[in-house]
């Protein structure tokens, strides 16, 4: 995390081809759901392949403050014991720093039939309503009130129900799944999200004794169980981290083998890269990406899984900024996803945005410039742009990037990138104190 008086930033000089091997860490989006899910267990849960990123550090701190015993076995394996957790109230100060902390609502409600959690923070993409989450909790028999920035959900007891989500929501799917796991009777959730980390959470809960079927399809069916036991479980690889490095390899006309991946999870990304002329070879647990020319233009529409992920949209836009011809991106998931465009323009990209549509006129080259990471994936896009650009770029606000990418600087240096992380005292802040 950033130091109190430090302005941490990355300095990159572009033009190097990325060549070599990169290993992908555990999936951020799975970790921030699986860790809160351990609250439902009455035993010790050992979680492997945990990414060492600030979002995970934060969720572990929140659980620790609430009474969970957290023990690090090594840097990617942790043991969690929530059997002595006494209170269903999550610390306001920590919770508001990350969006995924709302998964505490479902797991605390399941464990205590009560949950008090502040409204979440994380990346700012406009309004992130939790109305579908609350609709699901109500269907299971809970009441809620929102006051003073806190959500208070409580029930006499939770009972299975049929729930239809009005919009496909990853967050709501996960939260309802968590609460329904220990509700009485059968819960059927329709129009659910199908992302790999939803399947991962279902597999994790089932390994603790839950009875969940259908994760990865449109309908999830949950037979409530009385209690969940401890388990050992390894988190899936991070599809977005893998996709980011795939795009970085293509943007630098590199040749990179990306290890520890599930190629099936990358299909929508691979398909678009291939359409752009990138060569992608799939193996059992790795992909090789190489490129030796300018990418072809290509149109993209972000969609819930198995469509093209919104979390890869800024990265692919950066590659399209270097493509031969005009590409169109249609962002159908998040309202505010195009905030990074202004930053890319500083580097010479030619992009115009109208509502949810971006039109990208491909250029021969981008030029290094000072830019900032406006959110996690925008930050990844800035890195890709800096690696592909002529000259030197400085990226500020990297705290966003480190929420979701483990050791990104080291991983890139290992494949030939010219990138370093520097901390400089923030003089203005220091003087003001």
What's the mean pLDDT in 262-290?
A: 98
What's the mean pLDDT in 317-340?
A: 94
Residue-level pLDDT at 95: 77
- pLDDT band, very low/low/confident/very high, at 149 (cuts 50, 70, 90): confident
- pLDDT band, very low/low/confident/very high, at 97 (cuts 50, 70, 90): confident
- The domain containing residue 227 runs over which residues? 28-234
Looking at the fold, whether 277 and 323 belong to one and the same domain comes out as: yes
The model's pTM is 0.93
For residue 106, what are the contacts with CB-CB under 8 A and spacing of at least 6? 36, 115, 133, 137, 174, 175, 176, 177, 178, 179
Which residue's entry shows tokens 């797991």? 107
Based on the number of CB atoms within 10 Å of its own CB, is 44 exposed (0-12), middle (13-18) or buried (19 or more)? middle
- pLDDT band, very low/low/confident/very high, at 431 (cuts 50, 70, 90): low
The answer, yes or no, to whether residue 371 has pLDDT greater than 60, is yes
What's the mean pLDDT in 141-166?
A: 93
Residue-level pLDDT at 430: 52
Does the residue 52 lie in any domain?
yes
Looking at the fold, whether 182 and 328 belong to one and the same domain comes out as: no
What's the mean pLDDT in 56-64?
A: 93
Element (H, E) at 163: strand 162-164
Does the residue 260 lie in any domain?
yes
Top-confidence residue, 276 or 425: 276
Q: Among residues 45, 123, 159, 298, which one is catalytic?
A: 123
User: Which of 205, 234, 263 is the endpoint of a domain?
Assistant: 234
The answer, yes or no, to whether residue 357 has pLDDT greater than 60, is yes
- pLDDT band, very low/low/confident/very high, at 128 (cuts 50, 70, 90): low
Does the residue 1 lie in any domain?
no
Residue-level pLDDT at 171: 94
The answer, yes or no, to whether residue 79 has pLDDT greater than 80, is yes
pLDDT digits (tens, 9 = 90+) for 233-261: 999 999 999 999 999 999 999 999 999 99
What's the mean pLDDT in 104-125?
A: 82
Q: Is 281 helix (H, G, I), strand (E, B) or coil?
A: strand
Residue-level pLDDT at 6: 61
Lowest mean pLDDT among 7-11, 75-79, 332-336, 367-371: 332-336
- Tell which residue, 276, 271, 274, has the closest CA to residue 303: 271
**Does residue 320 contact residue 366 with C-beta atoms inside 8 Å?**
no
Give the CATH number of the domain where residue 242 resides: 3.65.10.10
Does the residue 265 lie in any domain?
yes
For residue 331, what are the contacts with CB-CB under 8 A and spacing of at least 6? 302, 310, 313, 337, 338, 356, 357, 358
Residue-level pLDDT at 119: 75
Residue-level pLDDT at 129: 73
- pLDDT band, very low/low/confident/very high, at 101 (cuts 50, 70, 90): confident
Looking at the fold, whether 196 and 249 belong to one and the same domain comes out as: no
Q: How far is CA 92 from CA 67, 86, 148, 399, in A?
A: 15, 17, 11, 20
Looking at the fold, whether 305 and 201 belong to one and the same domain comes out as: no
- Tell which residue, 283, 305, 287, 200, has the closest CA to residue 244: 287
Looking at the fold, whether 337 and 299 belong to one and the same domain comes out as: yes
Residue-level pLDDT at 2: 40
Q: Is 271 helix (H, G, I), strand (E, B) or coil?
A: helix
Looking at the fold, whether 212 and 320 belong to one and the same domain comes out as: no
Looking at the fold, whether 403 and 261 belong to one and the same domain comes out as: yes
**Does residue 403 contact residue 51 with C-beta atoms inside 8 Å?**
no
Looking at the fold, whether 308 and 389 belong to one and the same domain comes out as: yes
123 is catalytic: yes
- Tell which residue, 335, 303, 319, 308, has the closest CA to residue 240: 308
User: Which of 207, 234, 261 is the endpoint of a domain?
Assistant: 234
| SS3 per-residue string spanning 178-201 | HHHCCCECEEEEECCCCCHHHHHH
Residue-level pLDDT at 427: 58
Residue-level pLDDT at 150: 83
State the first-to-last Cα distance of the chain, in angstroms, to the nearest integer.
20
Residue-level pLDDT at 99: 67
User: Which of 234, 265, 287 is the endpoint of a domain?
Assistant: 234
Integer Cα distance of 338 and 360 in angstroms: 12
Looking at the fold, whether 198 and 319 belong to one and the same domain comes out as: no
Integer Cα distance of 338 and 336 in angstroms: 6
- pLDDT band, very low/low/confident/very high, at 5 (cuts 50, 70, 90): very low
Mean pLDDT, the chain, rounded, equals 93
Looking at the fold, whether 186 and 289 belong to one and the same domain comes out as: no
Looking at the fold, whether 286 and 228 belong to one and the same domain comes out as: no
Structural domain total, the chain: 2
Looking at the fold, whether 244 and 125 belong to one and the same domain comes out as: no
For residue 342, what are the contacts with CB-CB under 8 A and spacing of at least 6? none
Q: Percentage of the chain with pLDDT > 90?
A: 86
């Amino acid at each position: 995390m950033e130091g109190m008086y430090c302005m941490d930033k990355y300095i990159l000089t572009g033009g190097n081809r990325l060549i070599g091997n990169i290993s992908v860490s555990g999936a951020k989006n799975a970790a921030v759901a699986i860790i809160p899910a351990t609250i439902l267990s009455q035993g010790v849960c050992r979680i492997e392949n945990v990414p060492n990123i600030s979002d995970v550090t934060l969720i572990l701190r929140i659980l620790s403050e609430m009474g969970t015993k957290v023990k690090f076995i090594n840097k990617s394996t942790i043991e969690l014991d929530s059997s002595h957790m006494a209170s269903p109230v999550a610390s306001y100060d920590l919770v508001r720093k990350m969006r995924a902390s709302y998964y505490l609502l479902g797991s605390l409600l399941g464990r205590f039939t009560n949950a008090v959690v502040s409204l979440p923070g994380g990346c700012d993409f406009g309004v992130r309503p939790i109305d579908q989450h609350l609709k699901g909790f109500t269907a299971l028999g809970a009441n809620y009130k929102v006051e003073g920035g806190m959500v208070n959900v409580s029930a006499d007891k939770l009972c299975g129900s049929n729930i239809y989500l009005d919009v496909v929501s990853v967050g709501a799917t996960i939260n309802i799944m968590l609460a329904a796991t220990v509700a009485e009777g059968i819960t059927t959730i329709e129009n659910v999200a199908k992302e790999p980390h939803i399947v991962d959470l279902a597999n994790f809960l089932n390994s603790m004794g839950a009875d969940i079927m259908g994760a990865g399809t449109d309908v999830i069916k949950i037979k409530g169980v009385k209690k969940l036991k401890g388990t050992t479980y390894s988190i899936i690889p991070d599809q977005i981290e893998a996709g980011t490095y795939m795009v970085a390899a293509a943007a630098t006309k590199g040749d990179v083998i990306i290890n520890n991946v599930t190629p099936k999870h990358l299909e929508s990304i691979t398909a678009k890269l291939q359409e752009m002329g990138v060569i992608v070879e799939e193996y059992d647990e790795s992909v090789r990406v190489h490129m030796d020319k300018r990418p072809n233009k290509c149109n993209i529409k972000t969609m819930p899984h198995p469509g093209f992920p919104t979390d890869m949209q800024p990265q692919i836009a950066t590659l399209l900024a270097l493509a031969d011809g005009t590409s169109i991106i249609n962002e159908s998931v998040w309202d505010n996803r195009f905030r990074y465009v202004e930053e890319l323009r500083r580097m010479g990209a030619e992009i115009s945005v109208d509502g949810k549509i971006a039109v990208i006129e491909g250029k021969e080259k981008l030029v290094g410039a000072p830019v900032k990471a406006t959110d996690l994936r925008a930050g990844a896009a800035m890195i890709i742009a800096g690696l592909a650009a002529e000259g030197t770029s400085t990226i500020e606000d990297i705290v966003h990037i480190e929420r979701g990418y483990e050791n990104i600087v080291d991983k890139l240096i290992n494949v030939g990138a010219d990138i370093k992380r520097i901390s400089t005292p923030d003089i203005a802040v220091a003087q003001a104190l």
